[in-house]
Homo-oligomer: A and B are copies of this chain.
Amino acid sequence: MTSRTIKVLLAEDQSMVREALAALLGLEDDIEVVAQVARGDEVLTAARDHDVDVALLDIEMPGATGIEAAAQVHKELPTIKLVVLTTFGRPGYLRSAMEAGADAFLVKDAPAAQLAEAVRKVLAGERVIDPTLAAAALADGANPLTDREREVLRAAADGSTNAELAAALHLSQGTVRNYLSTAIQKLAVRNRAEAVRIAREKGWL
């Protein structure tokens, strides 16, 4: 397997970016993009159908996030190496990606050369992560929110009122307020809007 080309699956929802990344990887002699998908929930089947060495997964995708897709592939096809790619350098994303079995974590504002580099490195068994981001992830610690707090906060993110949240989540209004209150305190902020913002920034939402 020394001289075979590396077969890459590319998952990214924005066509223009996806095809541009494919063009970029296509410039490398030892890399071949054998499949492209635009949705997280198409990654697993594409991976099964195409004898893939490395899957390159964007996080923000419809259907399923790249992290969810990574977890699926890691479970079913553990020999496939996983590179997670994202616009947002959120510490919590890095943590979840690693827990999902990712071998590399790249942010899109890193130099393009790192992409092909990462593909080669993960195939050689190395792990590739941004040291700055790794430090931030460790400094932040784990997500302090419970499942329910996170759900409520996520639902509250669009500006829904307590009554709407209660109805949507089958909870009492008081309970909704309790969850939001504890989330607000855990994140050390003053209202739900700030809580949403901070949780998003950290990648905890």
Contacts and interface: CB of A to CB of B under 8 A. Distances in A.
A73 to B, nearest CB: 22
Interface in A105-142: 106, 108-112, 114-115
A16 B194 contact: no
B193 A158 contact: yes
A91 to B, nearest CB: 19
Looking at chain A, what size class is its interface with the partner chain?
A: 35 or more
The 4 closest A-B pairs by CB, nearest first: A159-B194, A159-B193, A19-B112, A20-B20
Interface of A: 13-21, 23-24, 26-27, 85, 87, 106, 108-112, 114-115, 158-161, 189-197
Given A17-B108, A19-B24, A20-B24, 14 more contacts: A15-B111, A15-B112, A16-B110, A19-B112, A20-B20, A23-B23, A158-B193, A158-B197, A159-B189, A159-B192, A159-B193, A159-B194, A159-B196, A161-B191
